[in-house]
């Protein structure tokens, strides 16, 4: 008889790896299935760095989740014996009334978070790498920093396996069925059975929950690495993570040069052009990085050196750009975490905890009510 698991997790990316680890650490028998390698560069969790920040302009209700997220990142570091979070501070620039600045301030005030409001001259004096217009102010948050996504997924997967989870790479899930007695998952490698199912398959999630009719458009996102003229001005220690309001919507953002990784990384945070994750062109073309080069020449001219690399990634977007973490409305034993809309990585540690709570007890004390499926499904 094939082994029956307590929980199957579809997708062992950021959310899935953390969930497998959380479930295994509670003593459950877990099977994690990924269609590609663990980790891989084909979903949404590659590219060396992810920003974490606390004064959450997108919605202040994320702040309690972020507090727990930071705790869990630190405990992952202890357990894995490797630094995966570098606290660098974060500087944001823009007009006082833009969402980036006003939203960050409002989250900071509502939750009593450390922050500094800097007028233009104060901000530029502290960070002369930036040449932003006089009407821009600065908002600094000391707790912001950089997470290392590949190292994190590798660490969660390794620890989950040590705790006796089974993780299978290169096993695409084709379909699943559930009833009150359990779930059956069909893959290219045969069928697997479990009591419960967690779906966190990133940009491919819409296919696995198509019965719900939730619209999760996938967009193409480009990241660029350049060689600054004077690297010491942009190195970790000299440079915080940063973001600059983008007039056309969203923001430009980027990272200091990391110790063992080449280049100064930057990108646009705003949904890019619609794409199909199964057919996406994975080559970043020079015309796609023109806007970033132009932004560099305007706002961070000393970083505007030789292009070292450009990569293609994807966002899975919900209609309101907030995540979905919930029960499947038709099955009590199926749980879903998807639609991370380009800002989910920093939450992966706490999302794993929330999903493990749901899969073990059917509920969680973590405040995820505002991320329910009821926003989109009756």
Nearest CB to ligand FAD, comparing residues 108 and 241: 241
Nearest CB to ligand FAD, comparing residues 118 and 144: 144
The least distance separating ligand FAD from the CB of residue 314, rounded to whole angstroms, comes to: 6
The least distance separating ligand FAD from the CB of residue 187, rounded to whole angstroms, comes to: 7
Nearest CB to ligand FAD, comparing residues 124 and 185: 185
The least distance separating ligand FAD from the CB of residue 125, rounded to whole angstroms, comes to: 27
Nearest residue (beta carbon) to ligand FAD: 13
Instruction: Report the interface residues with ligand FAD, using CB under 6 A.
Output: 10-16, 33-36, 40, 43-45, 47, 50-51, 172-173, 200-202, 204, 221, 223, 267, 313-315, 340, 342-346
Greatest alpha-carbon pair distance for the chain in Å reads 71
* β-strand partners of 239: 236
Beta strands in the chain (DSSP E): 4-10, 30-33, 50-52, 85-87, 90-94, 116-118, 137-141, 145-147, 166-168, 173-179, 182-187, 190-199, 218-226, 241-245, 251-254, 264-269, 273-275, 307-316, 324-328, 331-338
Nearest CB to ligand FAD, comparing residues 48 and 124: 48
Nearest CB to ligand FAD, comparing residues 201 and 275: 201
| CB-based contact 372:326 (threshold 8 Å) | yes
CA gap 40, 150 in Å, rounded: 8
b/e burial code for range 247-280 (CB count within 10 A of at least 16 → b):
eeebbbbbbbbbeeeebbbbbbbbbbeebebeee
The least distance separating ligand FAD from the CB of residue 121, rounded to whole angstroms, comes to: 28
Q: Up-side HSE of residue 298: CA atoms within 13 Å toward CB?
A: 13
The least distance separating ligand FAD from the CB of residue 290, rounded to whole angstroms, comes to: 17
Nearest CB to ligand FAD, comparing residues 105 and 312: 312
The least distance separating ligand FAD from the CB of residue 348, rounded to whole angstroms, comes to: 6
CA gap 312, 319 in Å, rounded: 22
């Amino acid at each position: 008889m094939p082994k029956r698991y307590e929980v199957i997790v579809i997708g062992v990316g950021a959310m899935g790896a953390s969930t497998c680890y959380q479930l295994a650490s509670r003593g459950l028998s877990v099977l994690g299935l990924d269609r590609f390698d663990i980790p891989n560069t084909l979903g949404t969790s590659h590219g060396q760095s992810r920003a974490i920040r606390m004064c959450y302009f997108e919605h202040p209700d994320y702040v309690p989740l972020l507090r727990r997220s930071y705790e869990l990142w630190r405990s992952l570091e202890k357990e894995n014996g490797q630094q995966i979070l570098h606290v660098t501070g974060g500087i944001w620039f823009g007009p006082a009334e833009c969402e980036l600045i006003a939203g960050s301030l409002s989250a900071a005030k509502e939750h009593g978070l450390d922050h500094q409001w800097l007028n233009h001259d104060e901000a530029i004096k502290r960070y002369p790498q930036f040449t932003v217009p006089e009407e821009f102010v600065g908002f600094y948050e000391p707790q912001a920093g950089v997470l290392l996504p590949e190292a994190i997924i590798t660490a969660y997967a390794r620890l989950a396996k040590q705790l006796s989870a089974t993780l299978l790479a290169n096993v695409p899930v084709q379909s699943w069925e559930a009833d009150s007695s359990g779930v059956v998952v069909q893959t290219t490698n045969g069928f697997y059975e479990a009591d419960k199912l967690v779906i966190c398959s990133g940009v491919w999630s819409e296919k696995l929950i198509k019965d719900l009719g939730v619209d999760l458009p996938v967009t193409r996102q480009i990241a660029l690495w350049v060689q600054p003229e004077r690297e010491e001005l942009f190195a970790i220690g000299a440079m915080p993570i940063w973001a600059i309001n983008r007039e056309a919507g969203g923001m430009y953002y980027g990272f200091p040069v990391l110790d063992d990784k080449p280049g100064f990384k930057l990108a646009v945070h705003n949904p890019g052009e619609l794409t199909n994750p199964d057919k996406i062109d994975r080559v970043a073309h020079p015309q796609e990085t023109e806007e970033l080069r132009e932004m560099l020449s305007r706002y961070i001219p000393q970083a505007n050196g030789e292009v070292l690399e450009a990569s293609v990634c994807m966002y899975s977007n919900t209609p309101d750009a907030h995540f979905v973490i919930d029960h499947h409305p038709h099955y009590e034993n199926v749980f879903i975490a998807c639609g991370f809309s380009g800002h989910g990585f920093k939450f992966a540690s706490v999302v794993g905890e929330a999903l493990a709570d749901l899969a073990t007890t059917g509920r969680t004390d973590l405040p995820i009510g505002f991320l329910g499926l009821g926003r989109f499904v009756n």
